[in-house]
Structures are given as structure tokens and as C-alpha cells.
Copies of this chain bind each other. A is one copy, B any other.
Amino acid sequence: MSSKASRWTKQLEVIMDIVYRNEFNLTADEVYAEARTQVPNISLGTVYRNLNKLVQTGYIASVQKGQVQTFSKHPFTNAHFECVKCKRVLRVPFDLRTTDLSKKVGMEVTNFELRMTGVCRECESKCI
């Protein structure tokens, strides 16, 4: 149990709400832009702080895309294919469960991402 009491702020609520209302992965900047419509002078640092807090407490999940961190309410179904040529990241369907992974690694997996790399169909056919 943590020794430091966590406080429920307007900002935290707004950020949590944005992630939960959204179906897809959001970057911190996207959350920031959305949050500013509700709390005009909210700071980007606050957005990062609260997003990371929510990840650590397990309320939301974080997935790395290239060099940017993204956040979503979905703690699963994250399989991506990244093209080494055009750098695009494509979502691909994949059935893999956190419960199965937890058993395999012997630790509680709350989220996962399967990131594959290669050359996408488009670049392959273009012979870039």
C-alpha cells in the first residue's frame, strides 16, 4: 500500500474521461489538445503526469508507437506491423490473451503489444 495519498483532481478526471471516451490509442499531445477544451490552461506536464499515474494504477494502458507513447483504455488486442521503409504502423488482427501470457511468464500481464516489422505490401510492390 502506498504511503502518499493520491488526490482526485479536476484535471485527472478530465484526462481519464478523454481516454475512456476514445476507442483508439491517443498520444499525450492529443489528450492535451482535447483536455484544453475543458480546462483551457491545463499544462502538458500535468497531462503526462496523470497519464502515467493512470498507467501505473492500471486504469489505462500504454503502448509505444515508434518513439511516441500512446494511451488507451484497451488493455489488449494490440498487434501492429511496422514497415521499415515507409515507417507506417498498421493494426493487424491477432488473438492473444493477457491471461494466457500471464501464465506463460509467471507475472500478471496487464497489457501487451505484439510489434512486427518488415516491408508492407505497398512498399514491397513498389520495390522502393
In the bound complex, how far is the Cα of B111 from the Cα of A102, in angstroms? Answer: 23
Question: Which among A84, A94, A111 has the highest number of chain B CB atoms within 10 Å?
Answer: A84
Query: With the chains together, A84 CA to B64 CA distance in Å?
Result: 13
Q: What is the CA–CA distance of A105 and B96 in the complex, to the nearest angstrom?
A: 14
CB distance from A20 to the nearest CB of B (A): 18
Cα distance A44–B116 when bound, in Å? 27
A31 CB to nearest B CB, Å: 18
A25 beta carbon closer than 8 Å to chain B: no
Q: Tell me, yes or no, whether A48 is within 8 Å of chain B by CB.
A: no
A1 interfacial by beta-carbon distance below 8 Å: yes
Which residue of chain B has the shortest Cβ distance to A111 in the bound complex? B117
- CA of A104 to CA of B116 in the docked complex: distance in angstroms? 11
A56 to chain B, nearest CB (A): 5
Contacts of A81 in B (CB 8 A): 105, 107, 109
From the candidates B62, B67, B120, name the one contacting A107 in the complex (CB within 8 A).
Answer: B120
Sort A-B residue pairs by CB-CB distance and give the 10 closest, nearest first: A112-B116, A109-B116, A110-B118, A111-B117, A109-B118, A92-B105, A113-B115, A108-B118, A56-B84, A114-B114
